[in-house]
A and B are shown apart, each in its own frame.
Chain A
Amino acid sequence: MIAAADRSGPVARLAERFERGLTSPICLTWELTYACNLACVHCLSSSGRRDPAELSTAECKQVIDTLQRMQVFYVNIGGGEPTVRRDFWELLDYATGHQVGVKFSTNGTRIDAAAARRLAASDYVDVQVSLDGATAEVNDAVRGVGAHQAAICAMQHLAAAGFTGFKLSVVVTRHNVSQLDELKALADTYGAQLRLTRLRPSGRGADTWHQLHPTAAQQRQLYDWLAARGEQVLTGDSFFHLAPYGGPLPGLGLCGAGRVVCLIDPVGDVYACPFTIHPEFLAGNVRQPGGFEQVWRDSPLFTRLRQPQSGGACTSCRFYGSCRGGCMAAKFFTGLPLDGPDPECAQGHGQAALRLAGPAAAPRPAVDHSHRGPLRARAAPGRRARTGPVPVIIGSRPSPASLPGSAAPPARPCDANPLAGFGSEASKDQHYVLDAAHTQRKG
């Protein structure tokens, strides 16, 4: 076993410099839209419906110009589902043409063979396919029926297009933590790299975190699994709070909020990190005079986050040097003081703190774009179109015989887009519901 250690060596000294902030972010997340064609129960941004005040194409290009000037080498684009924006590909090309590399997260529903070939052709684009279970049973319970198949199809298309090293991105939950080996094998099958990240109680995750986050015993199991694999598995530095189990995992080992990372949301609001969409952590907006550059360099919130932080109740703990008190967002959205233990503290102090704070202490997420009803899917084959909401079903193709004029059945499930017939309509619909009436008319 690796001895529990305080941070030391060149990485640690550098991390201390980073806590005082950087000229520009190292890692910027930009959620392009709150619109999503899925409704995952743990969505950190409570996505679903497009916000009418979403940044326009021209405004997005201005942001990219700023990022180029600031030498933000790449952005993590997310959402919502970023590919539902009609200008998604235009913005992707604009960014990569302006020395801003793009890694974007997708649920895979729109990554068909042509999209995969286009992505594989660019050195400056990386793709992260989200999947939260090795099996449809585990994944779809969180991400919706058909989501597993959609992600697998996307990975097949990417692999077939020769895109190696894309990311299979998994949020670790109580139900998939026993599938880590299978998930790794799945990533290997498609020439992808596995990326595991922490479930945060942000967005709709605030409602599901208590049921979904790994138990203390599972956290330990996760730590050991990660420690044994080193840099083979990416983590976005999201498990640094587990360092007391046996020493630091690869990464900087610090909360980068407002220091090395931040979030630009679909309406241009700048938050300290992707998991803190709440007025408490709102630093400014890219539309204000001075734009993103001024928000990053001068906002009072970020200036405060770059000052030395108090360890509070954690200061006396001998592991404080390695976990630094954990994740600010996890504490905030579970109602814990920011200068106390993380709710998943490896020493067990989080559970005690949660009991002490009680459920009423947790602030409600303040920004919510969730679909107001269940997602509407097309009517099941052979039935008449329904106008009322039905549970979302993606990936289930009608039998060829039931579709007038349809071609031969696909040789494999992934020869057809699992959302075939939904896409163009959905992208025009402000609320991105999968509209049964539209697709029926099309047929």
Chain B
Amino acid sequence: MSTDAPVSPRAGTPGSPAPGFDLDRPWRLDDRVAVRPEPFGALLYHFGTRRLSFLTDTTLLAVLRALGEHPTARSACMAAGIGDGALPAYQRALGTLARSQMIARRAGP
């Protein structure tokens, strides 16, 4: 098993530019990813890559759970109550999850 550093919007450097995660595309949790709630947040496990990620932010968890039902990642973030000020941090966290294949682009507009 490989483990990644915990994914949290607080983990990024404040004020650093968000890497290129496209908030305006439809995303979903990868089919091979399972989510397990834990007292600190959640564990994500990818059966294909066998990587484990720790989520330490319950808002991020809410975004992930809703991702597949929203037309864009931005809309999933807004529905979870994330304001403009906090959005870049969540964009970074989602970018991390996309790079480790925990979330994937979904066909759509």
- Answer yes or no: B43 CB below 8 A from chain A CBs: yes
A303 is an interface residue with CB less than 8 A from chain B: no
Contact B6–A11 (Cβ < 8 Å): yes
Q: Once bound together, how far apart are the Cα atoms of A24 and B52, in whole Å?
A: 14
Partner of A73, one of B37, B40, B47: B47
Q: Does A252 lie at the interface of the complex (its beta carbon under 8 Å from any beta carbon of B)?
A: yes
Convert B5-18 into 0s and 1s, putting 1 for each residue whose CB lies closer than 8 angstroms to a CB of A.
11010110000000
Shortest beta-carbon distance, A5 to chain B, in Å?
16
Distance, CA A180 to CA B34, complexed state (A): 36
A41 to B56, CA, bound (A): 43
When C-beta atoms are compared, the residue in chain B nearest to A14 turns out to be: B6
> Which residues of A have CB within 8 Å of B52?
26, 73
Cross-chain contact of A23 among B11, B37, B47 (Cβ < 8 A): B37
Interface residues of B in 50-92 (CB under 8 A from A): 50, 52, 54, 56
- What 1/0 mask marks residues of chain A from 95 to 128 whose CB sits below 8 Å from any chain B CB? 0000101010000000000000000000110100
Min Cβ gap A67→B in Å is 12
Task: Please determine whether B6 and A10 come into contact, CB atoms closer than 8 angstroms.
Answer: yes
Q: Which residue of B lies closest to A252 (CB)?
A: B3
Interface residue? A311 (CB, 8 A): no
B8 and A231 within 8 A (CB):
no
Complexed CA–CA distance, A27 and B36 (Å): 14
Q: Cα distance A24–B37 when bound, in Å?
A: 10
Interface size class of B (residues with CB under 8 A): 20 to 34
Q: Which residues of A contact B2 (CB under 8 A)?
A: 231, 234
Q: Given A71-B34, A101-B47, A126-B50, are A27 and B40 neighbors across the interface (CB < 8 Å)?
A: no
* Alpha-carbon distance between A1 and B32 when the two chains are bound, in angstroms: 40
Chain B, range 27-53, C-beta contacts under 8 Å to A: 32, 34, 36-40, 43, 45, 47-48, 50, 52
Instruction: Check if A421 is an interface residue, CB within 8 A of chain B.
Output: no
B107 close to chain A: CB less than 8 A: no
Whether, in the assembled complex, A22 has its beta carbon less than 8 Å from a beta carbon of chain B, the answer is yes
B27 to A: closest C-beta gap in Å: 22
Q: Is the CB of B34 within 8 A of A73?
A: yes
Give complex CA distance A301, B57 in Å: 30
Q: How far is the CA of A360 from the CA of B39 in the complex (A)?
A: 43
Please, how many angstroms separate the alpha-carbon atoms of A74 and B1 in the complex? Answer: 9
8 A Cβ contacts from A203-257 to B? 231, 234, 251-252
Whether A11 and B5, one on each chain, are in contact in the complex, defined by CB atoms closer than 8 angstroms, is yes
Q: Which residues of B contact A231 (CB under 8 A)?
A: 2
Extra A-B contacts (20), CB below 8 Å, given A26-B52, A74-B1, A234-B2: A10-B5, A10-B6, A10-B10, A10-B56, A11-B6, A22-B38, A23-B39, A26-B1, A27-B1, A71-B34, A73-B34, A73-B43, A73-B45, A74-B47, A74-B50, A99-B47, A101-B47, A123-B47, A124-B47, A231-B2
A-B contact pairs, 26 of them (CB 8 A): A10-B6, A10-B8, A10-B10, A10-B11, A10-B56, A11-B6, A13-B56, A14-B6, A14-B40, A14-B54, A17-B39, A17-B40, A23-B37, A23-B38, A24-B36, A26-B43, A71-B36, A73-B43, A73-B45, A74-B1, A74-B47, A99-B34, A124-B47, A126-B50, A234-B2, A251-B3
